[in-house]
Structure 1
Amino acid sequence: MTPSIRSGKTIKATVMNVAVLALMTTAVVGCNRGIKPVVNDPVKLMQIAQPISVLQPVFNVDVGNKKASKKDPLALQVGYDNAQIVTASRGGDLMGFDNAGQRLWSLNVSDQITGGVALDSLSQTAVISTRGGKVMAFDSSTGAKRWEQQLSGSVLAPALIANNRVILSANDGFLHGLSLQTGQPVWQFATQVPAISIRGAAAPTLLDDKTALLATADGRLHAITTDSGLPQWSRRIGVGMGSSEVERMSDVDGMPIVDNNQLFAISYSGQLIGIDLASRQVMFVNELASLKAVAVNNQQVIGTSLDGKVVAYNRSNGQILWESNVLAYRELTNPVMIGNYIAIGDLDGVVHLFDPATGNIVSRVQTKGALTNLQVQGSRLMTQSTSGQVAIWQLAR
């Protein structure tokens, strides 16, 4: 994905690392001294010596992306449960499918969709957000509209639906808790908004049954009760260093990962942190800059860096187990675990499957368009490209 800077008006910038972005932004909004950034070409893919079959295609549909921008791709994701699939396009199209790929309904929300899809299987509710700051809820089985709510800012990440609340992080720094049944505001929580930040946001996630975890553009994590929005604790994750506001950007745009009473988060400014939730003690802090969430398995934390490096760490102490540069500058997605493999997407729509023991690529599958985000539910991997291609793969048996 190509990040862009948010500072009142949006300034576009292609970046491969923090230093390059600082130079680019200086060239655009500074004194215009003709500084040109060094943009590295993506490495060419090497042929896999002995590829194995890991994923089998089960669903593929073009949902359209009429208003997409290559300079400002948004990480829309698929709403999925065991019975339904709900997709959204940048152009405002919302579609519902059954798991066999049969389209059940479709509609257009008359605005660009910027956040979604969040799908709650219990209430059969699909939630999306628009560029104009509207949050809309639909019956996921029929497409019937249930409610609409106007927020103070637009939402750039899927909502969290939990405990009869729809929880969202808006780009004006406000965190919102809405009623799942009516969409009415229940609580609001204000966070600090830096003068300059990366355009994007981390999706909220659950810390435990009653607490939501939200990451913000100032590099912090906030733990807030889902029902009433009461703050439980806040911790700084990203720490930007430098003389300019650009160099001090510390966004946490990758969703924090909570697993086995441990918390892992990564920042744009280059901090990967592991926290033991039982003791609230930091287990490790390592240097890795990313806008993408990490993945975890029983032994490892896996991250993808801004310049296309893939690194696996020991999840207990942060020791580097292996690192790979074979996908350098290929604008990697977040890594996810699918079965016993690590899946990572890239700018050409290729999903690479890594062996977590060796760090070697053992398989690939292909879709159309650049990938920005991967999702896994059970034994299925879901992707949506910036060109609007939705694909679902099943783990081979």
Structure 2
Amino acid sequence: MTRSIRFSKMSKGKTIKTTVMHVAVLALMTTAVVGCNRGIKPVVNDPVKLVQIAQPISVLQPVFSVDVGNKKASKKDPLNLQVGYGNEQIITASRGGDLTGFNTAGQRLWSVNVDDQITGGVTLDEFSQTAIISTRGGLVMAFDSATGAKHWQKQLSGSVLTPALISNNRVVLSANDGFLHGLSLQNGQSVWQFATQVPAISIRGTAAPTLLDDKTALLATADGRLHALTIDSGLPLWSRRVGVGTGSSEVERMSDVDGMPIINNNQLFAISYSGQLIGIDLASRQVMFVNELASLKSLAVNAQQIVATSLDGKVVAYDRTNGQVMWESEALAYRALTNPVMIGNYIAVGDLEGVVHLFDPGTGDIVSRVETKGALTSLQVQGSRLMTQSTSGQVAIWQMVR
């Protein structure tokens, strides 16, 4: 695992964050055998070697690939930039601050540099032709997606590490200092703020906000909670704990929900770092099931299944109605897996070597692979296209084979 821990302490009314070490190292230190007081070396599990697919099938074909660069990258921030896609456009962001528009054939249309490291990835609103990004310094910026002209910028109290949600004339963002923000899409003015509890120790990163319904945003926070807020005014409707950390130390009690919750057919699914996978029936507000699995990645769902990737590299498919395990694969153990996504009739998962693996959802077998350059942190699907951006700055798009 490569995510870093965020320590927060109050000093003169401000939250101070310091990245100190990897979660796995600190967790091992806190669970060391009593009596071992020096010379502790964390156990590092090597990624499993890939086994050749006996009879691979063709699932994805390349559309285009481009290197957007990764200059001036900061190791203090998770490298998890995402691509904006829509209106026959592709908009990419680099850590060096380059925002670039392409057409779907891969031809460069425009490029601007924002003079800061982009951290939040790209959100593209097709109706207003607006692209939203955020920077390490806490700036949120809006650009014309057709020309690259900047419309406005807004300074926030903390940096934003995930893409924004654009809906109902609002730009909804989850900042790393625990504040949720609703900005005007037209001019960037702050319309509402909502403060959440920030634990003393948490994973540096946040889940991207998502739509619960047309008027409601769902946001997950570092204290293991889900918050439903009205998009227009930020009015809190309800809050529910998902992650429940246990243990004697603050590290063992971390309960971050960093993977974006999934809402599908009036059911809500979420997973936490502390090891709870939960399914909720939204009509009755009743919990359908709670399973034990730890992850910082978003889930994937289809008509029958919920699919998750665990911290140690398992890919697990559950029955979405009762949470029973349908199959579990350790073929990619310790390969620092991305979130799973559904693409056509397959489940796609990326890894630390830039390989995208396609699973048969019925059997859990890997049936196909495609490759890009650099470690992958997240996958995106738009219709029949799969999009990736690696930590080295390689953006790749594949099309489903008909």
TM-score, normalised on structure 2?
A: 0.95
Is 1:271 aligned to 2:279, yes or no?
no
What CA distance in whole angstroms lies between the structure 2 residues aligned with 1:67 and 1:236?
37
Deviations 1:215-249 (A, max 9, x none): 00000000000000000100000000000100000
Percent identity of equivalent pairs: 84
Check the 8 A contact 1:169/1:214 in 2, yes or no: yes
CA-to-partner distance for each residue in 1:334-370, whole Å, 9 max, x for gaps? 0000000000000000000000000000000000000
Could you say which residue in structure 2 is the equivalent of 1:177?
A: 182
Note the residue ranges of structure 1 that are not aligned, 5 or more in a row: none
Counterpart mapping for 1:166-245 below 5 A:
166-245=171-250
Aligned match of 2:252 in 243, 247, 253? 247
Q: Aligned equivalents of 1:206 and 1:74: distance in 2? A: 24
2:23, 2:276 → 1: CA distance?
21
Q: What SS does structure 2 have at the residue aligned with 1:351?
A: strand
**Mapping 1:38-49, distance limit 5 Å:** 38-49=43-54
**1:168–1:177 contact (8 Å) kept in structure 2:** yes
Cα deviation for residue 37 of structure 1 reads: 1.1
Q: Distance in 2 between matches of 1:278 and 1:248?
A: 31
**Residue 18 of structure 2, aligned match among 9, 22, 26:** 9
Residue 307 (structure 2) pairs with residue 289 (structure 1): no
Q: Give the partner amino acid of 1:147.
A: W
Q: Which runs of 5+ in 2 are unaligned?
A: 8-16
1:33 shift after superposition: 3.5
Q: 1:32, 1:137 → 2: CA distance? A: 52
Does residue 302 (structure 1) correspond to residue 304 (structure 2)? The answer is no
Contact 2:77 2:119 in 1 (8 A): no
- 1:21 to 1:363, Cα distance in 2 relative to 1, 3 A: farther
Mapped contact 1:82–1:99 kept (Cα < 8 A): no
CA displacement, residues 181-225 of structure 1 (integer Å, 9 cap, x when unaligned): 000000000000000000111000000000000000000000000
Aligned with 2:378 (options 354, 373, 378) = 373
Which residue in 2 is equivalent to 1:390? 395
Give the Cα separation in 2 of the matches to 1:26 and 1:34. Answer: 14
Give, in whole Å, the separation in 1 of the partners of 2:344 and 2:114. 36
Deviation at 1:102, TM superposition (A): 0.7
How many Å apart are 1:137 and its aligned residue? 0.4
Q: Say if 2:143 and 2:150, in contact at 8 Å, map to a contact too.
A: yes
| Selected match of 1:67 from 63, 67, 72 | 72
Partner of 2:347: 342
Q: Is the CA contact (8 Å cut-off) linking 1:26 and 1:32 kept in structure 2?
A: no
Note the C-alpha offset of 1:67.
Answer: 2.2
Give me the whole-angstrom Cα distance separating, in 2, the residues matched to 1:219 and 1:11.
22
Superposed, 1:86-105 pairs within 5 Å as 86-105=91-110
- 1:115 maps to what in 2? 120
Paired with 2:155 and 2:210, the residues of 1 have a C-alpha distance of 22
Aligned pair count reads 390
Query: Secondary structure at 1:363's aligned position in 2?
Result: strand
Which one-letter code corresponds to 2:3 in the other structure? P
CA distance in 1, matches of 2:161, 2:312: 23
Distance of 1:33 and 1:382 partners within structure 2: 46
* C-alpha contact (below 8 Å) 1:368/1:385 kept by paired residues: yes
Report if the CA contact (8 A) 2:132-2:142 is conserved.
yes
- After superposition, give the CA deviation of every residue in 1:4-63 in whole Å (9 maximum; x if it has no partner): 000131112163xxxx64124789xxx984422111000000000000000000021000
Alpha-carbon contact 1:13-1:25 (below 8 Å) kept: no
Kindly report the root-mean-square deviation, in angstroms, between the aligned alpha carbons of the 2 structures.
Answer: 1.5
Q: Evaluate the alpha carbon distance shift between residue 90 and residue 24 of structure 1 in structure 2; reply closer, same or farther with a 3 A threshold.
A: farther
Runs of 4+ in 1 over 6 A off after TM superposition: none
Give the structure-1-normalised TM-score. Answer: 0.96
**In 2, Cα distance between equivalents of 1:301 and 1:151:** 35
What's the secondary structure of 1:23's corresponding residue?
helix
Deviation at 1:81, TM superposition (A): 1.0
Q: Are the structure 2 counterparts of residues 32 and 61 from structure 1 closer, same or farther at C-alpha, using a change threshold of 3 Å?
A: farther
- Paired AA for residue 291 in structure 1: L
